[in-house]
Amino acid sequence: METLNTAAVYINRFKALVERLYHEQPALQGYEGTLESVIRTHFAQMSAKNHTWKRDTFRELLLLMNAKKCYAVLRNPAFIEVLANISAFGNKMVRPAHGWVKDSLTAEGQLASLLRHCFAKFEVPEFMEYIFAGDNKVHMHWYIQLRPRR
């Protein structure tokens, strides 16, 4: 019983943190070594006026990973950056993120599965999933382009 309450408290606290940072006025700041500063920095890099879908998608992905108890993803700044990179292409998703089903116990597997769910209609080479851990948006766009058009 205690474990369920602790998990519920964590989920609610994280949700409140994400909502607060989402609604904050974007202001650039340095990385302070905290989860909050990592998320704040990514929100600040996404315009609150132009392309608001990036911020909306990033918020949705953070809350989804929290709801699915993907805590290893949310504790790692590099994995949060992957979520931010995914959100940069949020308007190109072939399926909504909220329909994703967690099918791996590792953070890397969860992120790869999320990528496939959101962007791939057909099999995409596994090595391509790692490009979302980098900063080359052109390579990320190639992943998106691999799906066939109608």
Domain spans, the chain: 2-145
pLDDT confidence band for 146 (50 / 70 / 90)? low
Cβ atoms of residues 57 and 79 within 8 Å: no
Tens of pLDDT, residues 18-65 = 999 999 887 666 667 788 999 999 998 887 777 788 999 999 999 999
Tens of pLDDT, residues 86-106 = 999 889 999 999 999 999 999
Cβ atoms of residues 32 and 94 within 8 Å: no
Number of DSSP helices (H) and strands (E) in the chain, helices first: 7, 0
Question: What is the model's pLDDT at position 106?
Answer: 95
Question: What is the model's pLDDT at position 149?
Answer: 46
Q: In this prediction, what percent of the chain has a pLDDT beyond 70? A: 87
Cβ atoms of residues 42 and 59 within 8 Å: no
DSSP class of residue 123?
-
